[in-house]
Structure 1
Amino acid sequence: MMPDGDYMLGELPVYVRDGMARLKEGDSLAGSILQLKDAVKNVVDWNIVTPEKAIMMASYVPAKSAHILADCGSIKPDKAADFIVLNPDLTLVETYLDGESRYEVIK
């Protein structure tokens, strides 16, 4: 989760406090600070979809919708090698950027 503090959401100044992102001007709710890996885990834990479908919903489907499926959204040659490795319980194991391990959970 994002720590409390001031951020930019596109061109809009926002602040994060108490698990919420709000616009600095007007105090309207600006969006969620939920991490995508946690959203994937939630829909599986709530028995909405299988882990495989949840991961597809978080990767392939958005890439297809944004018309960038040729570059990302699945693990194939000539695509960006940015991905995470999850345990069977969908907790984070490792993060890869450009095909290199950049973060590993220490046990």
Structure 2
Amino acid sequence: MSPRRNRRDVPDGDVDLDRARRKVEAVEEGPDGADWYVRHIPGQAATKVYRCPGCDHEIGVGVPHVVAWQVDGPVDERRHWHTGCWRARGRRAPRVGRHR
């Protein structure tokens, strides 16, 4: 008997859209009127380092944060935000593109 695989077979670099949408916890309307899929990541599930588009600082391993992407946009454009930066996104401009 072979071990059970928990991952779907998705080509390298491709994002499983159905799987990503199943993990969405909420749809929020942004300050610009666009709807966003939002998922809260608890600290124990945060196993990689990401760069927050709100402040351009790193989100470290073990730091709770938010993953969000536009409802009508591609899932591969989802971004990891500090929770505070996500909440404040309407009060300040994102700093996307400076570091990637």
- Scaled by the length of structure 2, what TM-score is found? 0.32
Q: Which has the higher contact order (CA 8 A, sep 6+)?
A: 2
- Scaled by the length of structure 1, what TM-score is found? 0.30
Q: Which has the higher helix share?
A: 1
Q: Which has the higher strand share?
A: 1
